[in-house]
């Protein structure tokens, strides 16, 4: 197991306060948990991954995720079982979209 | 003067072999039929040291009884054999080398035996003549690799030795033709000997010996993919393929490679493609094995015609009931033919789309991995521009225009060759690399060239979950490299892109993202699959498709 933490400051998009969970912890997949947290407009992502040695790729995937959504006061927890970057991005986007849809 | 032996040495030698066999088998030989217990005696009498021997090892059907009998030969009597095989599928295919019976090999594909083959080569037990594509190997059977003895498999023989090959005709016709018409010996294993055959696929006078095998020949269900295992990413890529390539080029005639990526496309035809109004406009004529995943598209009326390389276990009754679509004999069962279907895929299809393991910065694509000599099979014949093609079609003309626009060149068409890959395979193996493993493998195995499955110059599009790169539109090596990097995702190759150049390529439509194609990633759900599991496929076939046991998960 490896734990990685990324923090992106100065987000602009707020999410509703109810937590959101998408995905499953199974081989090649991952679980994404989205929570509200008072982080001075930052977005913090903690990743627990079964695959070791892919920090650079995670960083690139998270930077692009942040560029897409610019989240503020959001804490995201990821439990990864060797998902590919494509699946990671898909699940993250699904989680945020589900969260936003819950407001309307 | 038959006896002079100056111009008919092959015929004289053939007669000698037949006489030896007659003497050894005596009354056990009834016409052309011998009991299975005498197979070793037949082979010892019919074979000579140094013979070129073709064992029918197909993609699916295997002459397994004869292959096993070959391993039991006495290497003191029969050795130095030169084996010719399209597919090395069974351990016995390599045991003959380990046992000192054979020494040289010419082949096409060795999937399941690739690791052991590499070991035997490095131990000096086996000498590879060349690794071929299917059509190329069959072609050499008629030029400089004509078999002296052919060992083939058929479903049934009659008492005269006529053969019924059944739906899995596969490689039998070219092997028998090359051998029989160059004074060679043709030996056949059959599942049964009957009085009247459903139809004659190979006439008796091309056949020398028939033996009933103790068990029916082995057939591998190679083309069955369980829809339950198709991922959302594969569905997204299938949507991009349909909207970004099939619709753009109006691709009607095509071949699909094996795999979940293309199975997803097949299962999206009656749903997503139909919703785009593409029924009757795309994917109507196929060179394809009878993929169970194609059943919903056939039932929806998408598909007019399918010619097959081989058959697929469980599809027999469905094919029989859909004779407008498949090629069937007067008896109702399918006749496949790998050589004909390969020719059809090469010359009469406008597109090949399939997966690969590695793609480099020039777009060369390879399935070679270190420590395994896997060969090529048929993909290179499908996945290559047909330079001998002259007839036009909208897809072929458009691809040709895109590749030549603005150049001083004679107008001509071009085949669409699409490589469809997720940027990372399982265990985070990148599909994009700076240098193919094929280079190192060539060095290890002493090959003259790196084993490239599809050359970059033939690849027209690369499709990943990140987008489609249209290589036809690239005008310089640099543009081509950046177009490939631009769809290579988070691989090292993808992260090494020149962001500005990639955006420029996107502005010019050389790279297209899902959103550029009007595809919302959120729509890429399993709800789009026309069948979500094996049971759905059976239901779609009106109960005619009977999946092999291992796929019956309900």
CATH of the domain at B391: 3.40.1080.10
Residues of B in contact with A86 (CB under 8 A): 233, 422-424, 465-466, 489
The partner residue sitting opposite B490, judged by closest CB among A28, A61, A97, is A61
Using CB atoms within 10 Å of the CB of residue B426, give its burial: 0 to 12 exposed, 13 to 18 middle, 19+ buried.
exposed
Domain count of chain B?
A: 2
* Degrees, nearest 5: CA angle B117-B119-B124: 95
Q: Are B121 and B240 found together in one domain?
A: no
Interface list for chain B against chain A, based on CB atoms closer than 8 Å? 231-233, 236, 422-424, 426-428, 465-466, 489-490, 495, 521-522
Mean pLDDT score, A24-49 = 93
Give the whole-angstrom CA distance, residue B318 versus residue B537.
11
Same domain assignment for residues B394 and B312? yes
- Residues of A in Cβ contact (< 8 Å) with B231: 87
Q: Could you give the C-alpha distances from B44 to B12, B52, B307, B383, in angstroms and in order?
A: 18, 14, 39, 42
- Which residues, including other chains, have CB under 8 Å from residue B526's CB and lie 6 or more apart? B230, B232, B235, B532
Element (H, E) at B461: strand B461-464
Is B220 a domain residue?
Answer: no
pLDDT tens digit sequence for B4-41 = 678 999 999 999 999 999 999 999 999 999 999 999 99
Of the pLDDT bands very low, low, confident and very high (cuts 50, 70, 90), residue B1 is very low
Contacts 24+ apart (CB under 8 A), B123-127: B125/B97, B125/B98, B126/B94, B126/B97, B126/B102, B127/B103
Tokens for B64, please give them: 């397994």
Report yes or no on B320 lying in a domain: yes
Phi-psi category of B272—alpha, beta or left, where left has phi over 0 and alpha has psi -120 to 50?
Answer: alpha
pLDDT tier at B60, thresholds 50, 70, 90: confident
Confidence band for B3, pLDDT divided at 50, 70 and 90: low
Worst-scoring range by mean pLDDT, B87-101, B362-376, B466-480?
B362-376
Q: Is residue B219 part of a domain?
A: no
B372 — pLDDT class (breaks 50, 70, 90): confident
Q: What are A56-90's pLDDT values in tens digits? A: 999 999 999 999 999 999 999 999 998 999 999 99
Task: Write out the residues of chain A at the interface with chain B, using a CB-CB cutoff of 8 A.
Answer: 28, 51, 54, 56-57, 60-61, 82, 84-87, 90, 93-94, 97
Q: Supply A26's token pair.
A: 């199974």
Which positions in chain A touch B236 (Cβ < 8 Å)? Answer: 90
What's the mean per-residue pLDDT of chain A?
Answer: 93
- Residues B272, B176 share a domain: no
Please judge whether A51 and B428 are an interchain contact, meaning their C-beta atoms are less than 8 angstroms apart.
yes
**pTM over 0.90, yes/no:** yes
β-strands B209-212, B253-256 pairing: unpaired
- Residue ranges making up the domain that contains A76: 2-103
- Pairing mode of beta strands A30-36, A71-72: unpaired
Mutate to test the interface with B, among A27, A59, A90 (most CBs of B within 10 A): A90
pLDDT tens for B244-254 read: 999 999 999 99
Question: Binning pLDDT at 50, 70 and 90, where does residue A103 land?
Answer: low
In the numeric block, which tokens belong to residue A19?
């937590």
> Percent of chain B beyond pLDDT 90?
90
Q: What is the pLDDT of residue B459?
A: 98
Q: Write out the residue range of the structural domain in which residue B149 sits.
A: 9-212
Q: Could you tell me if B263 and B204 lie in one domain? A: no
Tell whether B489 and B528 lie within a shared domain. yes
- Beta-strand runs (E) in B433-494: 461-464, 467-470
* CB of A33 closer than 8 Å to CB of A76: yes
Within a domain: B455: yes
pLDDT for residue B2 is more than 70: no
Query: Does residue A104 surpass a pLDDT of 70?
Result: no
Whether B79 and B100 have beta carbons less than 8 Å apart is answered as yes
SS (H, E, C) B205-258: HHCCEEEECCCCCCCCCCCCCCHHHCCHHHHHHHHHHHHHHHHHHCCCEEEECC
Q: Determine the average pLDDT of the residues in B380-390.
A: 96
A85 to B490: CB separation less than 8 angstroms, yes or no: yes
If asked whether residues B180 and B274 sit together in one domain, one would say no
pLDDT tier at B444 (50, 70, 90 boundaries)?
confident
pLDDT tens readout for residues B293-323:
999 999 999 999 999 999 999 999 999 999 9
pLDDT at residue B485 tops 70: yes
If you measure CA to CA, which chain A residue comes closest to B490? A57
State the total domains in chain A: 1
Question: Do B440 and B336 share a domain, yes or no?
Answer: yes
- Work out the pLDDT band at B111, boundaries 50, 70, 90: confident
Question: CA-CA distance, B336 to B329, in Å (whole number)?
Answer: 10
Radius of gyration in angstroms for the set of CA atoms belonging to chain B, rounded to a whole number: 25
In the prediction, which pLDDT does A71 show? 97
* pLDDT above 90: percentage of residues in chain A: 82
d(CA B441, CA B358): 13
Tell me whether residue B548 is in a domain: no
Nearest by CB to B495, which of A60, A84, A87? Answer: A60
Compute the average pLDDT of residues B54-62.
90
CA B553, chain centre distance (Å): 27
In a domain, B441, yes or no: yes
- As a whole number of angstroms, the distance between CA B89 and CA A30 comes to 37
Which residues in chain B are contacts of A56 at CB distance < 8 A? 495
Per-residue DSSP letter, B528: G
Range of lowest pLDDT (B72-81, B219-228, B538-547): B219-228
Cβ separation A87–B231 shorter than 8 A: yes
Domain contains B31 = yes
Mean pLDDT of all residues in chain B? 96
- Do B192 and B165 belong to one domain? yes
Q: Of B235, B431, B490, which to mutate for an interface test with A (greatest number of A Cβ within 10 Å)?
A: B490
Both structure tokens of B118:
């590499």
Question: Taking CA atoms, what residue in B is nearest to A55?
Answer: B490
CATH classification of the domain holding A97 = 3.30.230
Shortest alpha-carbon distance between residue A54 and chain B (Å)? 9
Considering only CA atoms, give the Rg of chain A.
13
Backbone angles phi, psi at B58, to 5 degrees: -95, -175
User: Are residues B447 and B527 both part of a single domain?
Assistant: yes
Same domain, B208 and B231: no
- From chain A, the residues in CB contact with B424 under 8 A are 84-86
Q: Indicate if B33 and B144 belong to the same structural domain.
A: yes
Find chain B residues with C-beta within 8 A of A82's C-beta.
426-428
Count of Cβ atoms closer than 10 Å to residue B44 Cβ: 16
The Cα B106–Cα B132 span in angstroms is 8
pLDDT at B377: 84
pLDDT band at B273 (very low <50, low <70, confident <90, very high): very high
């Amino acid at each position: 197991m490896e734990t990685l933490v990324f923090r992106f400051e100065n987000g602009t998009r707020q999410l509703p306060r109810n937590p959101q969970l998408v995905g499953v912890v199974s081989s090649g997949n991952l679980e994404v948990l989205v929570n509200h947290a008072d982080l001075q407009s930052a977005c913090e992502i903690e990743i627990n991954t079964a695959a070791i040695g892919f920090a650079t790729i995670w960083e690139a995937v998270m930077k692009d995720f942040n560029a897409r959504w610019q989240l503020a006061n959001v804490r995201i927890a990821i439990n990864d079982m060797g998902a590919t970057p494509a699946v990671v991005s898909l699940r993250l986007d699904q989680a945020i979209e589900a969260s936003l849809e819950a407001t309307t | 003067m038959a006896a002079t032996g100056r111009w008919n040495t092959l015929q004289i030698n053939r007669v000698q072999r037949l006489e030896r066999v007659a003497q050894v088998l005596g009354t056990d030989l009834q016409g052309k039929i011998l009991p299975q217990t005498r197979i070793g005696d037949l082979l010892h009498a019919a074979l000579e040291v140094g013979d070129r021997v073709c064992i029918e090892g197909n993609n699916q059907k295997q002459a397994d009884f004869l292959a096993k009998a070959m391993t039991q030969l006495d290497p003191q009597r029969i050795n130095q054999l030169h084996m010719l095989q399209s597919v090395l599928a069974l351990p016995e295919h390599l045991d003959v080398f380990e046992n000192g019976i054979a020494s040289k090999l010419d082949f096409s594909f060795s999937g399941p035996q690739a690791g052991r083959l590499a070991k035997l080569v490095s131990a000096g037990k086996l000498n590879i003549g060349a690794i071929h594509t299917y059509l190329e190997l069959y072609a050499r059977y008629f030029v400089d690799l004509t078999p002296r003895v052919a060992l083939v498999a058929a479903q049934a023989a009659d008492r005269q030795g006529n053969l019924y090959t059944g739906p899995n005709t596969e490689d039998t016709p070219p092997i028998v033709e090359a051998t029989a018409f160059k004074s060679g010996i043709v030996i056949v294993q059959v599942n049964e000997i009957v009085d009247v055959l459903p139809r004659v696929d190979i006439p008796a006078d091309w056949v020398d010996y028939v033996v009933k095998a103790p068990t029916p020949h082995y057939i591998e269900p190679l083309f069955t993919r369980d829809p339950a295992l198709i991922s959302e990413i594969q569905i997204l890529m299938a949507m991009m393929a349909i909207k970004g390539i099939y619709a753009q080029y109006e691709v009607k005639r095509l071949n699909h490679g094996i795999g979940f990526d293309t199975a997803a496309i097949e299962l999206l035809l009656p749903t997503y493609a139909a919703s785009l109004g593409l029924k009757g406009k795309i994917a109507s004529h196929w060179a394809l094995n009878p993929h169970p995943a194609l059943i919903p598209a056939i039932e929806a009326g998408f598909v007019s015609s399918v010619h097959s390389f081989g058959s697929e276990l469980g599809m027999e009754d469905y094919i029989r009931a859909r004779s407008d679509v498949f090629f069937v004999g007067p008896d109702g069962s399918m006749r496949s033919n790998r050589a004909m279907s390969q020719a059809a895929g090469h010359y009469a299809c406008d597109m090949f789309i399939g997966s690969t393991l590695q793609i480099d910065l020039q777009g060369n694509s390879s399935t070679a991995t270190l420590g395994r000599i896997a060969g090529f099979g048929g993909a290179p014949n499908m996945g290559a521009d047909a330079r001998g093609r002259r007839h036009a079609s909208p897809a072929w003309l458009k691809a040709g225009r895109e590749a030549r626009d603005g150049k001083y060149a004679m107008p001509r068409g071009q085949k669409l060759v699409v490589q469809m890959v997720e940027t990372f395979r399982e265990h985070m193996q990148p599909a994009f690399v700076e240098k193919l493993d094929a280079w190192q493998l060539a060095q290890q195995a002493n090959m003259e060239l790196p084993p490239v499955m599809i050359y970059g110059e033939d690849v027209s599009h690369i499709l990943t979950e990140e987008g489609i790169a249209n290589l036809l539109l690239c005008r310089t090596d640099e543009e081509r490299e950046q177009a490939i990097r631009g769809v290579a995702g988070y691989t090292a190759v993808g992260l090494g892109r020149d962001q500005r150049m990639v955006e420029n390529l996107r502005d010019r439509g050389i790279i297209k993202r899902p959103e550029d194609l009007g595809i919302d990633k959120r729509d890429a759900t399993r709800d789009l699959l026309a069948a979500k599991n094996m049971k759905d496929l059976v239901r779609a076939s009106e109960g005619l498709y009977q999946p092999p046991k291992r796929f019956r998960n309900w």
